[in-house]
Amino acid sequence: MKAKEGVIDLLNKVLTADLTAINQYFVHAKMCDNWGYDRLHQKVRERSLDEMKDAEELIEHILYLEGVPNMQRLGTVNVGETVPEQLKLDLKSEQEMLRIVSEGVAHCTKVGDFTTRHMLEDMVKDVDKHIDWIETQLETIKQVGLENYLSEQIKKEGS
């Protein structure tokens, strides 16, 4: 199926943001693992995998619309040196993602591409979920203090 005007471009923009997020979250997850924060490591790794599922869906949809997925372009991967820094940088990435995806939804409405719009709207839900989780972590750190928060992260999931 041929894409409506500007749709491939916007999908590639979302794809770039996703590929960048995959990398950023993956390295943050590995750093948490290295620090011994197993619980946080699992959570951030899951978030990286969520972005990978988004990227897969985007690539499939771009191909379906007879476009070429841009796998070369990558945004800046911002690596935080501490857990709070990582959380803040990831929050910024999600907020940027929300902006790009929302713009995409508006564009799809304008050109009448409801299938793509529906897909992007589902992605907005995921972005909201990610933002909510990160904001909760930052709020918890504020309330219980960084040391208490981090000592909880050492525990294995479920213990």
List interacting residues with Fe ion (CB under 5 A).
18, 51, 54, 130
Task: Please state the closest distance from residue 58 (CB atom) to Fe ion, in A.
Answer: 9
Residue type at 58 in one-letter notation: L
What SS3 class is residue 100?
A: helix
Q: Which is nearer to Fe ion, 51 or 113 (CB)?
A: 51
Least Å distance, CB 59 to Fe ion, is 13
* 91 within 8 A of 138, measured Cβ to Cβ: yes
Which residue's CB is nearer to Fe ion, number 54 or number 113?
Answer: 54
What is the DSSP secondary-structure string of 35-63? HT-HHHHHHHHHHHHHHHHHHHHHHHHHH
Q: Left (φ > 0), alpha (ψ -120 to 50) or beta: where does 6 sit?
A: left
CB of 107 to Fe ion, least distance (A): 17
Nearer to Fe ion by Cβ, of 125 and 156: the residue is 125
Return the number of the residue (99 or 155) whose C-beta is nearest Fe ion: 99
CA 140 from chain center: how many Å?
21
- C-beta of 18 vs 113, nearer to Fe ion: 18
Shortest distance (Å) from residue 2 CB to Fe ion: 25
CA dist., res. 58 & res. 45, Å (int): 20
Taking the C-alpha atoms of residue 86 and residue 47, their distance in angstroms, rounded to an integer, is 13
Rounded to the nearest whole angstrom, what is the least distance from the CB of residue 14 to Fe ion in the complex? 8
